[in-house]
Amino acid sequence: MSEKLAQVLRHWSEDFLEHLDLGGYSPATLRVYRCDLGLLCEWVKEQEHLNSPGDLTTAHLEKYQMHLMLRPSLHPRRSHPRTLSAGSRNRSLAALRSFFRYLKKSCRLLSNPALDLETAKQPKRVPSAIYSVPEMARLLQQIPKNHAVGLRDWAAVELLYGTALRRNELLSLELTDLRLAEGFLRVLGKGNRERVLPLGNAAQRALTVYLERGRPKLASEKAGTALLLSGVHGGRVTVHELLDALKQHAHQAGIRKKVGFHAFRHTAATHLLRGGADLRCIQALLGHSDLKSTSIYTRVEVSDLQKTLQRYHPRERT
Q: State the catalytic residue, choosing from 186, 190, 205, 217.
A: 190
> Would you say 160 and 264 are in contact if contact means Cβ atoms under 8 Å apart?
yes
Q: Which of 108, 205, 213, 262 is catalytic?
A: 262
Q: Which of 166, 167, 195, 247 is catalytic?
A: 166
Active site residue 240: no
Is residue 288 annotated as a catalytic residue, yes or no?
yes
Whether 262 is catalytic:
yes
Cβ atoms of residues 36 and 92 within 8 Å:
yes
In single-letter form, the type of residue at position 281 comes to C
222 is catalytic: no
Residue of 249, 265, 266, 271 marked catalytic: 265
Does residue 315 have an active-site annotation?
A: no
Q: Among candidates 164, 170, 154, 239, which has minimal Cα distance to 204?
A: 154
Q: What ranges make up the beta strands (E) of 39-192?
A: 178-179, 184-188
The CB density around residue 248, as the number of other CB atoms within 10 Å, is 14
Three-state secondary structure along 229-280? ECCCCCCECCHHHHHHHHHHHHHHCCCCCCCCHHHHHHHHHHHHHHCCCCHH
**Cβ contact 187:160 at 8 Å:** no
297 is catalytic: yes
The residues annotated with a catalytic role in the active site are: 166, 190, 262, 265, 288, 297
